Structures are given as structure tokens and as C-alpha cells.
Structure 1
Amino acid sequence: MSEKITAELRTEFGKGAARRIRREDKVPAVVYGHGNDTIHLTLPGHETMMAIKHGGANALIELEIEGKTQLALTKQVQIDPVRRLLEHVDLVAVRRGEKVTVDVPVLIVGDAASETLVVTENTTVQVEAEATHIPESFEVDITDAEAGTQFLAGSLTLPSGTTLLTDPETLVVNVTAAQTAEALEAELEEAEAEAGIERDEAEVPEEAADEAPAEGGDEE
């Protein structure tokens, strides 16, 4: 499902112009693809942020540009690390029915067996899908998975019309035995030894005198 956004053609460029756009709660953006010239746009900030949140990593946006409609996929999104506001959006033009190559996030669900460690070896897999039917994510159910269980890209469930481009033998999620405290301590000591770090041994306090000094003064 595409999100509809009314965009404005942008004629001012540079850092100063970008700051002015952001002060108006708008976002500078570009659209490229299909051999066309790059289109520089200004997008409404809130609507664009919501479209990206709803659509995920490959949000499909229906741009309304001076009476014309252009479908586009988000390609790169820059967000201010402090204020968490959009700073710039790169979009790639697409057509309905067109096949596109995208990276789709992998989502882990469930809990593995006790005393295991779950490692995500690849956070995304690459697929080819229709521009208007891109999966938002692929789920990997690790419920009660024992140590030694591996989930490969080829085991993912893909919707009809979607083709896996990542090597099917690519390891996506690996369930291993959790490391014991003893093994972790041994590994730490080995790493310290390789780095030439010597641990300080606790100082042993000197033994107290066998007998305390006699109380009282000497006899007359």
C-alpha cells in the first residue's frame, strides 16, 4: 500500500536552503531512476515521517508533483541523531508491476531453548519483488530452538511473486550454546595475556605480632 504525499519542486539548494526548509517542518528530497534527470523536491515533514514508519525500510510513496503522480521507493533516509527528525530523503522512481531489487529486514520471533545464545548473522536478505508488493520483513521463528540450530536464507517463507537473490545457504540466524562463566573468564584471561596485561594479585597483609605489648608500666 503506497502513501500519498504532495511534493513541491525545489529550486533552492545548499545548506542554508536546507535549513530553511527544515525550519518549516519540511524535508529536502531527491528522486532518481529510469534514466530521468534527478528531481529535487520538498516534502511535508510529518507526513513523510509517518509514511516511512508505516512502510518500513522500503516504503512505497505516491508523490503528487504539480498534478503528476510518481511512485517512488525510499532508498536512503538521513535522520538527526539527537532530535530524531528527518534531514534528507533519497527516493528511486518505480512503476506499477515493475520488479525491483531490495534488502528486506529479518525479524526474529519467539524464544530459543534455555542456555542458548541467539546470533543474527545477517539482518537483511536481498530479494526481487514487484514494487507495489515488497515484503516489509521476513520472520524467523526460533521458539524452543536448541543449540546448534541454524536458519538459512533458503528456509525463509517468501510471498508469491518474490524471488530470493541472497545465496540460499547464507546463514541468517545461529543458535549456539550460551557461554559459561568459567569459559568467559578463561577467554578474558587469554585475551589479557595476548595483550600483555598482567592482573594485580591481591596483597597479602603482613602477619600481626605474635604477642601484643604488655599493658601497664614496669614494676618498681
Structure 2
Amino acid sequence: MSATLQISKRELGADLNKMREQKRIPGVLYGFGIESSPIVFDYNLFAKAYLEAGESTLVNLDLEGKEHKVLIKDVQHDPVSDLVSHVDFYVVNLSKPIEASIQLRFIGEAPAVKSLGGTLVTPTSKLHVRALPEKLIKFIDVPLANLLTFNDSIRAKDIVLPEGIELVEYTGRTIAIVSAPREEEIEQAPEAAAVAAEGQPAAEAEKSSAEGKEEKKKPDDKKKAKE
């Protein structure tokens, strides 16, 4: 079920900062079959819809009783507060496939991480696909169970996409690999222990030598005192 958001028309020239202070966000509605329109909507209701839909699934916009099927296209944030300051909504043609970037969700722990001490590397967080708007989803799941060794990898062509969704980027693109621990990290602990073990007798010998010198000085000091 698609997320729903109530919106209202916004007058051009209105004080946008005042709107934001009132927890209302200015935005633009544009796309298939409509003229571009300035709009405004409640901050908290948008946050809820955005959390549910992301930027790759449809949102139902209710504008004065008329429904529009849209994708959230551009979310701008205030550079200081990081609060949402402006949003663009794109009205889609439900009968025509569109391209979208869908967030990847990595599932489980790679055996090469758990058993071999490697580090998971994910060069990309999204996959570019094409589908009818109503076929789009929020996440594409990527199981990590096949990353058994440092030579294994997951590429775009390996990901199983839901029916109706087509990959439109380079199929050989690396999605996930596990990198081996660096040699210096492996050797660091033994080397540190060896240095500590070697340094301890040396320190003790130096201390004993210093104490011996101190003992030798004592008779001379007494002799000088008698003189």
C-alpha cells in the first residue's frame, strides 16, 4: 500500500521561512499531465510518508481532493539544522516504465567476515533499474551468504530482482566483496608482544646497573665526609 500525503497549493511570493517555522514545507508538484505547481505540506506528515516510501516507491498526494501518484524526486535540507527545507514531487505515467535507483539492503553476515576476519566492502548503495511505477520497491535485498572467501564477490548480475524490474546498468558492477586483513594488522600484536618481552630484561638490567653504580659511590661519599 502506497504512502499518502495531504498537500495544499502555495501562493508564489509567500514567506517560505515563516512556513518552515510553522513546520510546513514548501515544494513543487510537476510531471505527467499537469502544470508545475507550488505546494506546501505538513513537516511531520511528510517525514512519515518519506520514511515509508523512500525515493523509489509511489506516494499518493491528495491535492484538494484530487489524487496524484508521485515519486519523491528531490529532498533539500537546511545546511545548518539539516531539517528538510524543500521537496519536489514527480507525477508519473502509470502505463510507462521509468528508471529509478533503488536502495540496497545487505542481509546477514558474510562468512569471510565472520570466520576469516575480513571487512565487508560495498562500493555502491543503490541499483539502477527500470519498471512500471507500481512495480517499484523501496529496497532490493542482497544476501551475503555466498561471500565465503576473499575471492568471492557479488555483482549486479547476481542479484535476483522481483518480477517486472529490469537492471539497466553494467551487469559486472561490484556490489559487495570482503577484503582480507592487512598484513601489518595481523603482525602488529605478535611484534608488540615481542618488543615488550625484549624490553623488559633490558630495562631491568639497566636498573641493576644504575643501582650498582650507586652502591659504589657510597664509600667515596663517606670518605669525603671524614676528610
**TM-score class normalised by the smaller sequence:** 0.7 to 0.9
- The answer for the alignment partner of 2:197 in structure 1 is none
Separation in structure 2 between the aligned mates of residue 57 and residue 211 of structure 1, nearest angstrom:
78
State whether residues 109 and 144 of structure 2, in contact with CA within 8 Å, keep that contact through their aligned partners in structure 1: yes
1:155 partnered with 2:158: yes
* Structure 1 counterpart SS, 2:134: coil
2:69 is matched by which residue type in structure 1?
L
Which of these two proteins has the greater Rg computed from alpha carbons?
2
Superposition pairs of residues 133-152 of structure 1, within 5 angstroms: 133-143=135-145, 145=147, 146-152=149-155
> 1:219 aligns to what?
226
Would the alpha carbon gap of residues 210 and 149 (structure 1) be closer, same or farther in structure 2, given more than 3 Å must change?
same
Question: What is the CA distance between 1:10 and its match in structure 2?
Answer: 0.9
- Do the aligned partners of residues 33 and 148 (structure 1) sit closer, same or farther apart at CA in structure 2, a change above 3 Å counting? same
8 Å CA contact 1:52–1:59 kept in 2: the answer is no
Q: TM-score, normalised by structure 2?
A: 0.76
Cα distance, 1:74 vs structure 2? 0.5
Contact 2:146 2:152 in 1 (8 A): no
Tell me whether 1:175 sits opposite 2:186 in the alignment: no
Whether 1:129 and 2:127 are equivalent positions in the alignment is no
Find the partner of 2:54 among 48, 53, 56.
56
Normalized per residue, the structure richer in strand is 1
- The answer for the alignment partner of 2:105 in structure 1 is 107
Q: Percent identity?
A: 23
- Structure 1: gaps of 5 or more residues: 186-204
After superposition, where does 1:1-150 map in structure 2 within 5 Å? 1-13=1-13, 17-34=15-32, 36-80=34-78, 83=81, 85-113=83-111, 114=115, 115-143=117-145, 145=147, 146-150=149-153
RMSD value, Cα: 2.6
Deviation, 1:85, is 3.2
Residue pair 1:111, 1:144 contacting (<8 A) in 2 also:
no
| AA matched with 1:178 | P
Higher helix share: 2
Q: Which amino acid aligns with 1:142?
A: L
For the 8 Å contact 1:148–1:177, the answer to whether it is kept is no
Give 1:164 deviation, angstroms: 0.5
Aligned positions, number: 198
| Cα displacement (A) at 1:106 | 1.2
Q: 1:93 to 1:181 in 2, by over 3 A?
A: same
Distance in 2 separating the partners of 1:138 and 1:184:
39
Unaligned 5+ segments in structure 2 are: 189-205
